[in-house]
Amino acid sequence: MKELTRENIWKSDEYTYEAAYGFVPNLRFYIHDDDAKSTCPDSASCAKSTSPDPLSSSEKNCARPFMLVVPGGGYCMCVPPEAEIVAKTFYEKGMNCAVLTYTTDITMSVPLQKQPLHDISRAVRYIRKNAARLGADPAKLVICGFSAGAHVCGSLGVHFEDVEDPDPDLNTVSNRPDAMILSYPVITSGEYTHIYSMWALLGKDGPKEDYDYFSLEKHVKENTPPTFLWQTVTDDLVPFENSLMFASALRKANVPFSFHAFPKGMHGLSVFTEDWRNGKYGEPYTMEQLELAVKAVKEGRGVRVSEQRIKELKEQFPDPDEDGNLPEPPQYPPHPDYKDVPMWPDLAMAFFEQLFK
C-alpha cells in the first residue's frame, strides 16, 4: 500500500473560509501497488506502473473502485475514529481510498454554510480528474460519510447539480458520486435533527431557507446516487428517524438503496473492528484544523469567538502543566461486543457488487 502525504484540494486564492486559521481542506490517499497484477480485480484493463509512487506516475494504474471517506464530528471537527481506519478497511476489500478532511469550526462562530459541500464536490472532481494516477475507476466512485460527515455526503448526493467549481477545467468533471454510504447520518434540520451540527453549519439564527436546503430528505430525486444506509436503532446522539426519513425519500424517488437497522449500539461505532475497539484508529491528521483553531483562540486570534466559547475551549483543550503533562483523558467502559455491526462493510460491498455489474 502506498500511504501518501496530503494533497490540498484548493489553491490559496480559491479557499476563503474566514476561520480556517491556515488550514486547507485536503485528501490523504491509500493506493494499491498494482505492479502485482494478481491482486488486480480487473487485470484485463490494468496498465502496469513503473513508478515507485503511483501518484507521481503518468501511466494508468489498475482502475479499482474508489472510496472517499468523510469523517464526522458535528461540523466542529473531523474525528480520527472515522478516518484512516475506515479507509484501510475498504482498502483491504480491494478499493483504492482517500480520506477527506473538510472545513469545520470548533469555535462555532463562523457558520460554514456551503463550504463543506464545496469541499466534497471539489474532492470528487479532483479524484476523477486524476483517476489514472490514483488507480481509480471514475465510474465507480463511492463517498462514505459518518454522522455529520454523512450529511456532507448526502448534501452532495442531493445538491450536486447546484455546485459550480471555480476551476474551469475541474468544472467540466462530474461531481456526482456513483454511490453513497451514509453511516448513522445527520439528515434533517427538522424535528429529529442533531441541532449542534446545524448550528455549526448554518448558525443558530440561520435563514429558514438555508435550514430547508440542508434538510436532505426534502431534496432526494431520481438522480440521487444509490445509497447504502446503516444505523443502530438505539443511537444516543442522532435520532434513528434520520435514516428512516432518507430511506423513505429514496424509495419514493425510485433510487436504489440498501438500509440496515442494527438493534443495539451507541452513536459513532465506525467500522467497529478489534483495532477500533482498542483505540487504534490510525494517524490523527484529520484534527489539524481543530488544533489550529484552538491555538488561535488561546492566542487571542479567534474570529468572533464568544467569551463563553473561549472559556469552553480552554477547559476542553487545556495546556500542559509545568512538567509538560496533560490531564488524564476520561476512561470509558468497554463497548459491548456487538456481533452484527461489524458486518456492515461487507454488506456495503455486496450492494456495490450488484450495483456495478
Instruction: Record the cell numbers describing residue 211, joined without a space.
Output: 435550514
- Sorting pLDDT into bands at 50, 70 and 90, what band is 2? low
Q: For residue 86, give the H/E element and its range.
A: helix 84-91
pLDDT at res. 5: 72
Length reported for the chain: 357
First to last CA, the chain: 26
Instruction: Give percent of the chain with pLDDT exceeding 90.
Output: 84
CA angle 179, 201, 211 (to 5 degrees): 85
Which residue matches cell numbers 497484477?
37
Residue type, 82: E
pTM higher than 0.85: yes
Q: Three-class SS string for 262-316?
A: ECCCCCCCCCCCHHHHCCCCCCCHHHHHHHHHHHHHHCCCCCCCCHHHHHHHHHH
Alpha carbons within 13 angstroms on the beta-carbon side of residue 93 total: 20
Taking the C-alpha atoms of residue 203 and residue 109, their distance in angstroms, rounded to an integer, is: 8
Enumerate domains of the chain plus CATH numbers: 2-286+340-355 (3.40.50.1820)
CA dihedral 206, 210, 214, 219 (to 10 degrees): 160
pLDDT tens-digit series, residues 161-200: 999 999 999 999 999 999 999 999 999 999 999 999 999 9
Taking the C-alpha atoms of residue 116 and residue 163, their distance in angstroms, rounded to an integer, is: 11
Q: Are strands 96-101 and 26-31 parallel, antiparallel or unpaired?
A: antiparallel
Taking the C-alpha atoms of residue 259 and residue 285, their distance in angstroms, rounded to an integer, is: 31
pLDDT tens-digit series, residues 148-158: 999 999 999 99
Sorted by sequence, the CB contacts under 8 Å of residue 57 that are 6+ apart come out as: 49, 50, 51, 133
Chain-centre distance for alpha carbon 180:
11
Lowest-pLDDT choice from 4-13, 42-51, 74-83: 42-51
Looking at residue 355, the DSSP 8-state letter turns out to be H
Contact 226, 179 (CB under 8 A): yes
